[in-house]
Structure 1
C-alpha cells in the first residue's frame, strides 16, 4: 500500500483511508435511515455544558 503524505492526509496508507471512508459512510447511512426524533439544540448544549463542568471540577 502506498504511504500518504501526512500534510495531505491523516492516514498512513490508502488502505487506512479507504477503511475509514467505508466505516464513515456506513455510519452516515445508518443515521439517515434512523427515524427516532432528534434532540433539540438547547437540550444538547445543556448536556454538554454539564459534561464540561464536570470535567473541569475533577
Structure 2
C-alpha cells in the first residue's frame, strides 16, 4: 500500500504508524471473512434481520 497522508480532517489516526496498523488489522479482518467456510448470507437477509433487531431494541428502550 502507498503512504497514507495524516490529516486530522481526513482521518481519526494520530500517526502514520497508527493508520498503517489499523489498515493491516482491517485487511486481515476482511481476508478472514472472505476465507470463512460458513454459508454466505444474502445481503437482503442480513439487512432484514438487522432492521428487526434494531426495531426490537427500540421498542424495548421505549417500553421503559
Q: Same fold by TM (over 0.5)?
A: yes
Band of TM-score, shorter chain: 0.7 to 0.9
Please list every run of 5 or more consecutive structure 1 residues that lacks an aligned counterpart in the other structure: none
TM-score by length of 1: 0.73
Aligned equivalents of 1:43, 1:33: Cα separation in 2: 21
Equivalent in the alignment of 2:44: 42
* Structure 2: unaligned runs, 5 residues or longer: 1-5
Q: Give how far 1:41 is off.
A: 2.7
Q: What count of residue pairs does the alignment treat as equivalent?
A: 55
Q: With structure 2 as the length reference, what TM-score do the two structures score? A: 0.68
Shift of 1:37: 1.3
Q: Specify the alignment match of 1:8 in structure 2.
A: 10
